Structure 1
Amino acid sequence: MKEEGFATAVQPDIQETSAPVVPKEYRLYFGLLVTCFALWGLLNNMTDNLVPSFAKIFMIKAVDSSLVQVAFYGAYAVLALPAAFIIKRYSYRVGVLVGLGFYMVGAFGYIPAAILQSYNLFLVSIFVLAGGLSVLETTCNPFVLSLGDESTSVRRLNFAQAFNPLGSMAGLFLAKYVILSHLNPATLEDRLAMTPDQLAAVRDVELFWVCVPYVGLILIAFIIWCAFFRSKLNDKDAGEEMTVKEALSRLIHLPRYAFGVVTQFFYVGVQIAVWTWTIKYVMANLHVIESEAANFYIYSSLQLLSRLLIAPSQCL
């Protein structure tokens, strides 16, 4: 009787471990979601480089150029909770459609911002774009977990998240070779000495290359959007039903959650501050141009990525 009981207890574990990580019917959508993980990693790190770029293009102070990050991460602060409500009320698929839709609208906004040479319009476009990434990031993590057996959900998520730092590195290289390398070497004094027509011509070229990667990625986003729009996935969040007030009340009364949010706020804040000012710091101390200073950003990111891959426990 004991042996039979033991065999019965072990059997479910054997069945769980034999489940495929990604079932065949979900592989296409899983691949598209993996692309989304890479996409927002790419755009996060590429946007860091807009701070020194806009400071030079629009001849503004560092504190004013840092509004790029206020607009970008301010969108995350504003739209993360609405994103959760969207996927709770409708589905993960709708969350992906909304997130990609906001991204495409924001990226398209770069075009009139460049034509009008308007820094404020760029900030609005960045806010809309980042809002889409916020919705996308909030949606894709639980979406990936839902695409298959629960016993393999963590493996699916780990695999998908591995593409986020790869996208981040791609964003750094795009920023260096597409945006920063096409900045005119003219200094602030040189630009102040230009005529309005000369300065406008220089800005036209620089802002064109700012737009290229953001607008170019719209094609990839549109392909993913069409695939999910045509899909018939029944992916509604199956979690416990509760009102917004009940959910917030439950979270607030969890000390670990509350302190975790505070810790994450300061951690991300410090991280973004360091990455944002790395290029300007290198430029000020080594007297090099933006594209050359970006090498130090890339080297430091590669070092961090290698530590995560080789000895992840050292980075915890």
Structure 2
Amino acid sequence: MSHSFNSESASLPVVPRHYLFPFALVTSLFALWGFANDVTNPLVKAFQEIFQISTAESAWVQTAFYGGYATMAIPAALIIRKFSFKTGIILGLALYAIGALLFIPASMNMQFSLFLIALYVLTFGLAFLETSANPYILSMGPEETATRRLNLAQAFNPIGSLTGMLVASQFILPNLQVAEFRDHEMATHPEYATMLPSEVDTLVTKSLKDYSETEPIAHAKMQSHDLGIVRIPYVVIALVVLGVLLTFAVSKMPNTGHSHDTIHLSQVLRNLAHFRYLGGVVAQAFYVGAQIMCWTFIIHYGMTLLGLSAAQAQRYNIVAMVIFLTSRFVCTFFLKYISPGLLLGILAIGGMLLTLGTIFLQGFAGLYCLVAISACMSLMFPTIYGIALDGLTADDAKLGSAGLIFAIVGGALMPRLQGQMIDMDPFTIGGTTLESMRASFVLPLICFFVVAVYGFLTARTPRYSGPSVGSS
């Protein structure tokens, strides 16, 4: 599965004609897990207000969501290696649908912990899908165009993400009664107009907590309504996923790169023990952490620092995703002329500069910088993935893929750390006092630095020369 960058690769087909249908079918999965990712991100803020919990506690949503990837990545890879990519995809779709349907008992029982279990099971399915789909796409054509092919498939991931964001923005957030409560508080306290947004957010949150204590029955009714709103998109996507599962079950899919050889785990581990792969796992963990932090806390940033409503702040998340989608196609084009490692390093430097703007620029300028980071993130996941698996056989790539999917655990750990920072008092950096919300973005800054180092180093090192195809 070698896919080095050279001038001749530009003339090779990215997707050969005989792979067009299976490529399109597998590419649809990228949109499906994109939807799950980004209809879930706004739930961090929604659950914080519905259940009256802290930012750090609400970030358990991301811990459960991305923790499911970490739990199931390696078991998924072993099953896929033993059977086939198609088997992994069907199992993944089944678990995805089960997890989404678990939102029904979770919402009826009004238990935050049950929602976490539902998300955890749902992402068991996503782990199967990502562990299957990424190397499957890499194997559908010339080795020289594999990274470009994966970037093309990944370009459809933001379409699903954008759909999830639109559902959250247009259907979930505006229809929550907790949002109506915030609007009512703002309307009945005209003095809030002269106060800092962060001060207003604190006062409104306190009023909501007081309401839950003084009017427990009315508050419980509000919770029930809001959790019912949250439930509906997950039930709908479960039905869509079951339809896609049926399509895969009846479709003939190519069995590319599969062998029935016995897995020699020690040999596979030796094949993976090189800088491009191990460094790629580390870089992927930091990248995913940065991505989830930036997208999860756009809503918090807008509400806390600029006084926006949740629905208004979510619109900036949508703008970020549109930028991400556009940049993905643009950067995929540039990969014809620039090596993946070099482009990755350049984009990571851009991400660092924009993160500094997010921290230090006041007003909407800081929010614009936060939104613009998405342009730099667009290429990172598939490019790290492609570089890390460069030179591996198809079978080794199946297990190697597990490490890169396990690296998504960065999205489980880092948002919770950022949530803990957000819950703290203001920070003083270089003599300047910053709100904890701003200061917390030092974590994505560190993440982009790690990605930049990996990108520039791989651009200067030769590609991995692995064992011949068919070795075990």
TM range (shorter): 0.7 to 0.9
Aligned 8 A contact 1:88 1:236 in 2: no
C-alpha separation in 1, matches of 2:14 and 2:163: 33
**1:119-163 deviations in Å (ceiling 9; x for gaps):** 000000001111111110110122234446667756653432221
Name the CA distance, whole Å, in 2 between partners of 1:89 and 1:56. Answer: 45
Q: How far apart in 2 are the matches of 1:155 and 1:36?
A: 18
Pair 1:20–1:310, CA change in 2 (3 A): closer
Instruction: Write the distance in 1 (CA, Å) between the matches of 2:217 and 2:118.
Output: 26
TM-score (norm 1): 0.85
Match in the other structure for 1:315: 347
Deviation readout 1:217-259 (Å, 9 max, x if unpaired): 11221111112223454626426753234323432x3133222
- The separation in 2 between residues aligned to 1:232 and 1:197, in whole angstroms, is 55
Sort the Cα spacing of 1:245 and 1:102 in 2 relative to 1 into closer, same or farther, 3 A. Answer: farther
> In structure 2, what is the equivalent of residue 270 of structure 1?
290
* Number of residue equivalences: 299
Residue 263 of structure 2: which of 242, 246, 257 is its match?
A: 242
Distance 2:173 2:226 in 1: 9
Q: Paired residue for 2:462?
A: none
Instruction: Give the corresponding residue for 2:465.
Output: none
Q: Residue 181 of structure 2 corresponds to which residue in structure 1?
A: 186
Q: What's the offset of the Cα at 1:108? A: 0.6
Select which of 195, 200, 203 maps to 2:215.
195
Q: 2:174, 2:276 → 1: CA distance? A: 45
**Using the alignment, how far apart are the partners of 1:295 and 1:103 within structure 2?**
27
Deviations 1:288-311 (CA, angstroms, capped at 9, x unpaired): 221111122222333343334345
Query: 1:49: how far off?
Result: 0.9
| 1:99/1:135 contact within 8 Å kept | yes
Find the aligned partners of 1:268 and 1:219 in 2 and give their Cα distance: 28
Return the letter of the residue paired with 1:228: F
**For 2:102, what is the secondary structure of its paired residue?**
helix
8 A contact 1:308–1:315 mirrored in 2: no
Measured in 2, the distance between the counterparts of 1:257 and 1:146 equals 18
Percentage identity across aligned positions? 36
Find 1:280's aligned residue among 278, 295, 300: 300
Q: Which amino acid is 1:176 matched to?
A: S
Q: Which amino acid aligns with 1:242?
A: I
Q: What aligned pairs does 1:160-309 form with structure 2 within 5 A after superposition? A: 160-184=153-177, 185-187=180-182, 188=205, 189-190=207-208, 191-192=211-212, 195-233=215-253, 235=255, 237-238=257-258, 241-251=262-272, 253-309=273-329
CA distance in 2: counterparts of 1:269 and 1:181, whole angstroms: 28
Paired AA for residue 235 in structure 1: N
Deviation per CA, 1:3-60, whole angstroms, max 9, x where unpaired?
A: xxxxxxxxxx9xx95897241xx55443322211111112112211110010011111
Q: What is the Cα-based RMSD across aligned positions, in Å? A: 2.6
Q: Tell me the CA shift for residue 197 of structure 1.
A: 2.6
Contact 1:40 1:133 in 2 (8 A): yes
Cα displacement (A) at 1:195: 2.8
> What's the TM-score once normalised by structure 2's chain length?
0.58
CA distance in 1, matches of 2:24, 2:258: 22
**2:87 paired residue among 85, 89, 94:** 94
Q: d(CA) in 2 for partners of 1:308 and 1:229?
A: 30
Gaps of 5+ in 1: 1-12
Instruction: Name which of 14, 30, 54 aligns with 1:61.
Output: 54
Is the Cα contact below 8 Å between 1:106 and 1:129 reproduced in 2? yes
Residues 298 and 233 (structure 1 numbering): CA distance in 2 closer, same or farther, change over 3 Å?
A: closer
Distance (whole Å) between structure 1 residues aligned to residue 251 and residue 329 of structure 2: 35
Query: Which residue type is aligned with residue 315 of structure 1?
Result: L
